[in-house]
Amino acid sequence: MSIVVTGATGALGRLVVEQLLTTVPADRIAAVVRDKEKAAGLAARGVELRIADYDRPETLTGAFRAGDRVLLISGSEVGKRVPQHTAVIDAARAAGVAQLAYTGVLGGPGADFELAAEHKVTEQLILDSGLPYTFLRNGWYTENYTANLAPVLEHGAVVSNAGDGRVASATRADYAAAAAVAVTGDGHLNTAYELSGDTAWSFAEYAALLSRATGREIAYNNVPAAVHQEILVGAGLPEGFAAILVDVDEAIGRGLLAGTSGDLARLIGRPTTPLAESVTAALATA
């Protein structure tokens, strides 16, 4: 039996493998990757590589073994994820895995924004498969904001169409730690976790935090959705992706990413990473 992580060279997957390596022997960890060379560092540390591609179902045939505990990290290509995830679920069911954990979105069936649609379909597909499951419904990543501070600092403004909405974000490392616990510990089968940071913050509070940390005045500009769409497209984002971000902000305004269930902190056995700590780290490398 192995602990299998799909998308293991991605931003989240690599962190999950790193977390697993702190508690699990390397020869019990398998990384499902498309690019063997990109995963060479993992192989050098004793992690088994299983080469497969979400877009090529035939390559997934040997990706899983009976009794494996599998973490399906959702694909990053919006619009393609349902067929990609279906291929993984079918292969996992055929192999007879002991657990299929899936990284979905906070709110599960109750999340009504566009980005959640494919996650909801995937969860239902997993339920229909009959496999023992664990739903890791991740909230928003703090890095969605702190990893791209340059335009905020350049223009002196945080721009959003979320109004007074709040975000209970957590770092990728927080979510990765929870995923590692879910696929190694007991008591997580047939369970859904609503994962989010301990504290929900508003964009006005975020702007004020940036102001204090930089010694500069950073404003919060709440703009209409159509205006935000224009700003994002003008900054070079594809229209479709910009529309998704605007729609997420609308969801934030409705309170859909503000939940603080405490599930994440309980899983990882510590408080989630504070926003201020992430901002300080990001500014140090900006």
Residue 209: both structure tokens together = 């935090």
pLDDT tens string 123-175: 999 999 999 999 999 999 999 999 989 999 999 999 999 999 999 999 999 99
Could you give phi then psi for residue 142, rounded to 5 degrees? Answer: -60, -35
Q: What is this structure's pTM?
A: 0.96
Domains of the chain (ranges, CATH numbers): 3-139+171-195 (3.40.50.720), 146-166+198-259+273-285 (3.90.25.10)
> Model confidence at 285, in pLDDT bands (50, 70, 90)?
confident
253 membership: H or E segment, kind and range: helix 239-253
Taking 90 as the threshold, does the pLDDT of residue 214 lie above it? yes
* The dihedral formed by the CA atoms of 84, 46, 143 and 85, expressed in degrees to the nearest 10: 10
